[in-house]
Amino acid sequence: MANLNELMARRGGDGSWKFALLPPEAQEDLRRAWQDYVHRAGGAKTAAGAAVVGGLTSMAMLPRLPCVPATLVGVAGGAYAVQLPQGNSLGDSARQVGAGAAAFWDAVKNPNNFGQQY
């Protein structure tokens, strides 16, 4: 367990104080694990899309569970499935659905996609 002096340490070239809950080594390990996950998932947007679709799907498929636990189960399932290796049918499907959801969200965010265009 890190002590307060390790958590409140001067970091960076500007000499400013930065508060961290984890020591720098653990932060680096988490950053590397996140980058590995995003790489296996095919990108951060694909991973987020798969998690969102998993949450919505599980909420619809598990109506007897309260909404929050059902959604969390689906989010965890989508986040797990999207990082499975290439060639795994579940992982490939999760990546396709996640990429589709991310593309849909990007299209919805673009204001040029609304209005009369015929």
Q: Where are the domains of the chain?
A: 45-109
What pLDDT score does 23 carry?
Answer: 84
Q: Specify the higher pLDDT residue, 76 or 24.
A: 76
Q: What is the mean pLDDT of residues 50-73?
A: 94
pLDDT confidence tier of residue 110, bands split at 50, 70 and 90: confident
Q: Which residue has the higher pLDDT, 110 or 51?
A: 51
Q: Which residue has the higher pLDDT, 18 or 93?
A: 93
CA pair distance 98, 109, nearest whole angstrom: 17
pLDDT at 12: 57
Q: How far is CA 12 from CA 2, 7, 66, in A?
A: 19, 14, 45
Give the length of the chain: 118
Q: Average model confidence (pLDDT) for the chain?
A: 87
pLDDT for res 55: 95
Q: Are 96 and 103 in contact (CB under 8 A)?
A: no
pLDDT band, residue 77 (cuts 50/70/90)? very high
Mean pLDDT over 13-41 rounds to 85
Q: What is the mean pLDDT of residues 55-81?
A: 94
